[in-house]
Amino acid sequence: MRLLIVRHADPEYHGDTLTEHGHLEAKALAERLASGIVQRVPSRLYSSPMGRARATSKYVEDALNLTAEVEEWTKELSDWGRISSGGLGKPGEGGLALWDIPGEFIRSFEPSLTSDSQWDLFEDMASVREDYNQLCAHSDSFLARHGYVREGGKYRILKPSEDQIAVFCHGGFGLTWLAHLLQIPVSLIWSSFHLPPSSVTTVLFDQRSDDYATPRVIGLGDVSHLYKAGLEIPMSRYEKPNPYSNNPRPSGVKGNFW
């Protein structure tokens, strides 16, 4: 089985929809997924209930003549705690989300943060530990419905599948889900990877025996459909000035694009 974690296209956070450029991104994404050239055409679609994810999935639904099933648990983590020094706004609206924490801070711990120690050593994470556990439980239930039951860090195969399923979701959620699937500390995932708008991350459930499969990322944050369509990754108007220096570029990874 292949799992496609698809971030929504360029967002207009006020109104929870897409920008004009976002609609162009979603159209290019739909053409890519329907072509079957890069990878198999998805056989099942799922979506976050949030407007920007639903608006993105609609383009793909129309292209494939499929209807996405809404999965409530895949909504963005906007209600999760924020970095205490990051402002009062919600993530995407000026607040500094946990998945925007600078990597130099996460990598300054000695010994390095682990999946267990991160909850105690990184103070701002303590408030979201139960939220993370609930997300993991929802993930396990979702994959069990597709015939893959988690046992430790691997998945017992109850029903072998060559399906390709696409889940239209969000940047923070997508990174957090990957942390669980790959058994990597979520704090390290947050500070080490980025999922651009409309990007496709492909997770292969790699089967090396009759009994088990393990998630393996074979494509991360892929936006090749944007290049094909001649589209750029726009700078969001929600990007704020860098609070860590006098650099005029915005904060966050997009401010570091050269």
Which pTM was predicted? Answer: 0.91
Mean pLDDT of 112-128: 91
DSSP 95: B
Question: What is the structure's pLDDT at 95?
Answer: 56
pLDDT at residue 71 greater than cutoff 80: yes
- pLDDT tens, position by position, 174-232: 999 999 999 999 999 999 999 999 999 999 999 999 999 999 999 999 999 999 999 98
Compute the radius of gyration of the chain from its Cα atoms: 18
Alpha helices in the chain (DSSP H): 20-35, 51-64, 103-106, 118-121, 129-145, 171-182, 186-192, 224-228
The gap between the terminal CA atoms of the chain, to the nearest Å, is: 36
Task: Grade residue 258 by pLDDT with cuts at 50, 70 and 90.
Answer: very low
Task: Grade residue 11 by pLDDT with cuts at 50, 70 and 90.
Answer: very high
| Opening angle at CA 193, ends 191 and 194, nearest 5 | 110
Peptide bond into 91 cis (omega under 30): no
pLDDT at residue 132 greater than cutoff 50: yes
Average pLDDT of the chain to the nearest whole number: 89
- pLDDT tens, position by position, 87-106: 444 544 555 788 888 888 89
Residue with tokens 């799992």: 3
Question: What is the structure's pLDDT at 251?
Answer: 52
